[in-house]
Structure 1
Amino acid sequence: MNRRRFLGIGAAVVGTGAMGAFAVPSAARLLAEGRPGRVLGSAVELPAPFQVPLPLPPVLQPVRSDGTTDHYEITQQIARLEILPGLRTEAWTYGGSYPGPTLAVRAGRQIVVRHRNELPVPSVVHLHGGHTPADSDGYPIDLLLPVGAGAGGAQGTAGTAGMVGMAGMVGMAGMAGMPGMAHHADLPAGRTTDGERTYTYPGRQRAATLWYHDHRMGFTGPALWRGLAGFHLVHDDEEDALPLPRGEREIPLMLADRSFAEDGSFAYPAVDPTLAVPGVTDDYMNGVLGDVVLVNGAPWPRLTVDRARYRLRLLNSSNARLYRLELDPQPAGGDALVQIGGDGGLLEAPVAHDSLEIAPAERFDLVVDFSRFPPGTSVRLMNRFGSDRTTEVMLFDVSSRTVTDDSAVPERLCTLERLDPAAAVTTRTFGFRRSRDDGWTINNQPYEPGRSLARTALGSTEIWRFFTDVHHPVHLHLDPFQVLSRSGAEPGRYDAGWKDTVDLRPAESVELLVRFTDYPGAYMLHCHNLEHEDMAMMADFVVE
């Protein structure tokens, strides 16, 4: 089935099995290109770099708290934001801002977040890195319909352009009744809700930099591109006991690349601008790259810093772009970026880097000591994987004022539990690759909700092996993991600690060790190149 035939079917009869029909570039071409994606050029004149101050996302306060639980409310809504100076961009937002408001929470306290959907499309909220019960994990057809859309079936909303799309049809009509779709016994049913939905996060995890974002099947890429992402920061006593930088010297940095149309709106190469049919045009099948680098929603911002240590919580929320980050100039002696944590929280001991590679969805917790630079130095954060304007990320202006800094980076940060490979009850293999029928697949199968590629026992430990044809950042839901090896050798320099997303380079394999704890149900593994994910590079696994 070719692309023209696929698009001719129409949203009402599209099953996820057909997602494999999307044409993608040849494996040979992708291997030759190395890093994924193609740049979508903006139609508007881009601003000069380092003209706007770095914004910090607002911290959301609970609407009420009791002895065990903090309750929050977030409205998903359209907002017109000044992202490029002098222009207004229509964004899909959590709470009217991009990034959405930060949830700063305590480990051990239950968090309940009530989302209200005032967008023109269904949504699904996933707490990325969250150790979460299945019914609050953000399964991709657990739809929250727009307020007033009605959850009685696809017929009530199909007339609104872009409102339902393929994932909406799937969630409301029921997969088994759609043409081309097999019935799967594992398929969750009845989790579509109208207007408002409550997500519950028990808080049974250590301190870490998490983030929340939209996860609707077939439309995660355009949803994040338009703004649906925010930080969720977990704090605990173990981390608080360390003399790390804090307060105004603890900065979350959400990296994203975007492109803009002439009127300032987000440009995205969707095959269907109404988003009733998923997918991007042929040239962008391997990922969409923007030509504007945003940090916390601002283009190439700048921040004045004291000559002191700063803690930078880095998140790559880009659809497909990889970054190799480096400070320019480097401080005397190098080792400018001291990593203290990753996806799953603190490392056992700090790791110093001259440069840092970060794939989509990965997080790195760094300490940078700006006292190593002379007063008045302008320090650029560079992207050595970029080209043209995307080689620069942001600017730090080192102040000349005298300050006190009582922070430090201890030689030992924590004691990590190390999973034992000998305790693994089985080894499973998952291939992330383009199949012969031109689809992005896992184990040669395009995604179908309810068709699980693995069933694992609650409490068990397993070895999972991922291998790739081209570049794929792979994300595992429910539990973090520890990397055992890369292509039979030692783990990579950026693999330390607990991870939930691992970056696989072309023709590479990774072995990891994971223990499935606390919550049974259907969960996901998928590529976090969002264009790959939206075109079926996902799979279910079931914990029972």
Structure 2
Amino acid sequence: MPASTPPPTADLTKFLDPLRIPAVLRPGPDGELTVRQVSAEVRLHSQLPPTPMWTYEGTFPGPTIEVRRGQRLRVDWQNRVSTPYPALVGHVPQITAPPAENVPGIDPALLNPDGPKLPPWLVVHLHGAVTDGGHDGWTDNAVHAGRSQLSEYPNDQPAMTLWYHDHAMGVTRLNVLAGLAGMYLVRDEEEDRLRLPSGEFEVPLVLCDRNLATTPDGAPTGQLLHKTVGPLPYCGRYTLVNGVIWPHHPVQPRWYRFRVLNAANSRPYRLHLVDEANQRVPGVVWQIGSDAGLFGTPVPVGGTGLSLAPAERADLLVDFTALAGRTLRLVNSAPAPAEGTPIGETDPVGVPDPAHRLPDPEVMEFRVAPPADCAEPFALPAVVSPSFRRLSHDDIPHDHGHRMLMIHQTPETMFEFWEMEQVPEAEVPPAGTLRDGLVQLRQAGRPTATYRRVAREFNDRLNWRVMEDAWEQWTIVNLAPLALHPVHIHLIRFQILTRAACDTSAMDRTAGGTPVGRPVTWDTPAVIAAAEQGWKDTVTVAPGELVRVAGQFTGATGKYMYHCHILDHEDDGMMRPFTVSPMAVMALDPSMGPMPGHGH
């Protein structure tokens, strides 16, 4: 065992196994790929037996698909899964300390007998893709084994890190946990001109967490275990990077590029690079891009770390030049469920926190080689994307649309999306009225606005019909006292315009509204962090927070979804549809009606 490897903790030795790099798939001249969804046995750790999984092309994560901007790709996603559902599914009704889902194994009496009956009913969503609705992986359009999903991706998008994963209605959390996820990279000429580290020096890091079943004597069997406790979403004991539990990766004393994806069902990551003494390593990590493209300039990753909620991505440059011969660790300091609480520059990191579902903060280890004689060919660019521009409200066309979305938490700790419409002043009830689905909102110095709920469940009426090429501003207000929600909007990329803390004390969770005359209030918006000023497709909304995002619904049409990317929340109903249609169609189709929310 290498000297830098710590002794085993509980059951598996940390940093024992090397990081695996997924294979790369590139389309040929015909612009086509066949990707098979197949049963496979994957070794997650050398001290474990092989783990039965459902995979793309037999690996977990699936192959990294790589395309050029504008290179149209047609994928035949073939469902060839031949085995029963590979994970055990269980539930612990009461919260324990430490939280039960972090503890491997489960009482057989708590297993769900319907788990083994789950068929391989699968549909692929390319997360972040601008593609027509028929190719987006609509959640009800899953297919059984022996059939195919045919999808076309124009890839008319700037260089960015996308990913593909299963999106089947009601079972997304289980299908993704079984292994159905992979990375997808779009490249373009602007990225080429930067001459960023490439080849072996560009490394994908797909982060997720899993739990394992055990034998009667407590030894892990390698079989995946989807165990939740009470109302909490899934969090597993073991952190995996590229499908390996707590791996190590040898690096040269030079610059590297890391494409980081949080592919966990619900676990947040707040990542720090630390040294042998568990102290932060300053000044060596820079972020050059987020979910949907490159930044204008590099952003240093400081002592507060790199925060990634489920589905968020980060494009990083790391300078190991002055760290030759050192052993470094990547650690996670984010408690779960995330609340959006920041960490201080000098607060301890890399410390186990089992009470907050983080029994093992370790993610992976970097082993830096001794000094090399070769000169380093790369220098951090002062400008990353010359084409990038930061949006403000004044940059958006005057006639952009407005949508109001609220997050409600029921007394049973279930979370719901509420689509809201503004109530005309003449229809506002008398002061003191408390009505289900009626919420007032006021920004300091402005009149109170009254909203009523028009949808809360996935199959409620379709309300949001967007005109093709239209710009819209979506306001999301988290009225819930618990949980930070990563909200993903299909089809578009957007920028965050506003973050503001709200006083939600007037919200009556039992009644489902605010008394008229006692609105939810917010005052001065917070400064948007530099790492959040780029293009995104997933935005976090903390408890008691208002967030505004703006984007253009262009490049494709059809029926899409937005949803919370905590997959337990998505499967439990935090998902709603919207459509994008040509202007001429909307003008002539009487079922469309007037476009809601347009204008200021």
Bin for the TM-score computed over the shorter chain: 0.7 to 0.9
Partner residue, 2:78: 116
Q: Does 1:482 align with 2:495?
A: yes
Partner residue, 2:268: 322
- Could you tell me whether the CA contact under 8 Å between 1:486 and 1:492 is conserved in 2? no
Encode CA deviations 1:469-511: one digit per residue, 9 max, x unaligned. 2310010100100110101323234312100001122211111
Partner residue, 1:293: 239
Q: Does 1:416 align with 2:388?
A: yes
Partner residue, 1:496: 533
| Structure (1/2) with the larger helix percentage | 1
Counterpart residue identity of residue 126, structure 2: L
CA distance in 1, matches of 2:26, 2:388: 31
Partner residue, 2:22: 57
**Misfit runs of 4+, over 4 Å:** 330-333
After superposition, residues 123-522 of structure 1 pair within 5 angstroms as 123-147=122-146, 195-262=147-214, 263-269=221-227, 283-329=229-275, 334-354=282-302, 355-373=305-323, 375-385=324-334, 387=353, 389-402=359-372, 403-414=374-385, 415-419=387-391, 420-435=395-410, 439-443=414-418, 445-449=455-459, 451-468=461-478, 469=480, 470-487=483-500, 488-522=525-559
CA distance in 1, matches of 2:280, 2:123: 47
Encode CA deviations 1:322-373: one digit per residue, 9 max, x unaligned. 1110010299982332000110111011100121111000000000000132
Partner residue, 1:542: 579
Question: Taking structure 1 as reference, are residues 333 and 217 closer, same or farther at Cα in structure 2, changes over 3 Å only?
Answer: closer
Cα drift, residue 450 of structure 1: 7.4
CA distance in 1, matches of 2:332, 2:42: 26
- Could you tell me whether the CA contact under 8 Å between 1:210 and 1:232 is conserved in 2? yes
Encode CA deviations 1:22-69: one digit per residue, 9 max, x unaligned. xxxxxxxxxxxxxxxxxxxxxx9631110000000111243x423xxx
Partner residue, 1:103: 65
CA distance in 1, matches of 2:410, 2:201: 47
Counterpart residue identity of residue 35, structure 2: I
Question: Taking structure 1 as reference, are residues 453 and 284 closer, same or farther at Cα in structure 2, changes over 3 Å only?
Answer: farther
Question: Taking structure 1 as reference, are residues 543 and 309 closer, same or farther at Cα in structure 2, changes over 3 Å only?
Answer: same
Q: What is the number of equivalent residue pairs in this alignment?
A: 437
Counterpart residue identity of residue 313, structure 1: R
CA distance in 2, matches of 1:201, 1:138: 11
CA distance in 2, matches of 1:316, 1:385: 13
CA distance in 1, matches of 2:263, 2:319: 25
Question: Taking structure 1 as reference, are residues 144 and 45 closer, same or farther at Cα in structure 2, changes over 3 Å only?
Answer: farther
Judge which range, 245-254 or 406-415, deviates more. 406-415
SS at match of 1:221: helix
- Could you tell me whether the CA contact under 8 Å between 2:288 and 2:315 is conserved in 1? yes
Question: Taking structure 1 as reference, are residues 248 and 333 closer, same or farther at Cα in structure 2, changes over 3 Å only?
Answer: closer
Partner residue, 2:446: none
Partner residue, 1:272: none
SS at match of 1:97: coil
Cα drift, residue 422 of structure 1: 4.8
- Could you tell me whether the CA contact under 8 Å between 1:381 and 1:392 is conserved in 2? yes
Question: Taking structure 1 as reference, are residues 248 and 438 closer, same or farther at Cα in structure 2, changes over 3 Å only?
Answer: closer
- Could you tell me whether the CA contact under 8 Å between 2:17 and 2:246 is conserved in 1? yes
Q: Aligned to 2:32, which of 36, 51, 71? A: 71
CA distance in 2, matches of 1:400, 1:424: 59
Question: Taking structure 1 as reference, are residues 451 and 123 closer, same or farther at Cα in structure 2, changes over 3 Å only?
Answer: farther
Counterpart residue identity of residue 539, structure 2: V
RMSD: 2.0
SS at match of 2:25: coil
CA distance in 1, matches of 2:281, 2:125: 41
Cα drift, residue 434 of structure 1: 2.1
When normalised by structure 2's length, the TM-score is 0.70
- Could you tell me whether the CA contact under 8 Å between 2:287 and 2:317 is conserved in 1? yes
Question: Taking structure 1 as reference, are residues 215 and 363 closer, same or farther at Cα in structure 2, changes over 3 Å only?
Answer: same
- Could you tell me whether the CA contact under 8 Å between 2:69 and 2:186 is conserved in 1? yes
CA distance in 2, matches of 1:451, 1:212: 28
CA distance in 2, matches of 1:305, 1:409: 18
Counterpart residue identity of residue 337, structure 1: V
CA distance in 2, matches of 1:75, 1:302: 29
Q: Aligned to 1:527, which of 556, 564, 572? A: 564
CA distance in 2, matches of 1:382, 1:333: 12
SS at match of 1:241: helix
Q: Aligned to 2:41, which of 80, 83, 86? A: 80
Partner residue, 1:31: none
Counterpart residue identity of residue 404, structure 1: A
SS at match of 2:38: strand
CA distance in 1, matches of 2:537, 2:551: 10
CA distance in 1, matches of 2:250, 2:325: 10
CA distance in 1, matches of 2:204, 2:151: 23
SS at match of 2:222: coil
Cα drift, residue 398 of structure 1: 0.7
CA distance in 2, matches of 1:424, 1:298: 49
Counterpart residue identity of residue 484, structure 1: L
Cα drift, residue 438 of structure 1: 5.8
* Larger relative contact order, structure 1 or 2 (CA cutoff 8 Å, min sep 6): 1
Encode CA deviations 1:242-282: one digit per residue, 9 max, x unaligned. 0311111100000001000012110013xxxxxxxxxxx5x
Computing the radius of gyration from Cα coordinates, the structure with the larger value is 2
Structure 1 residues not aligned, in runs of 5+? 1-43, 148-194, 270-280
When normalised by structure 1's length, the TM-score is 0.77
Counterpart residue identity of residue 417, structure 2: I
Structure 2 residues not aligned, in runs of 5+? 1-8, 82-118, 215-220, 336-352, 419-452, 501-524, 582-600
Question: Taking structure 1 as reference, are residues 437 and 452 closer, same or farther at Cα in structure 2, changes over 3 Å only?
Answer: farther
CA distance in 1, matches of 2:300, 2:14: 28
CA distance in 2, matches of 1:333, 1:440: 38
Counterpart residue identity of residue 388, structure 2: L
CA distance in 2, matches of 1:238, 1:481: 20
CA distance in 2, matches of 1:508, 1:345: 25
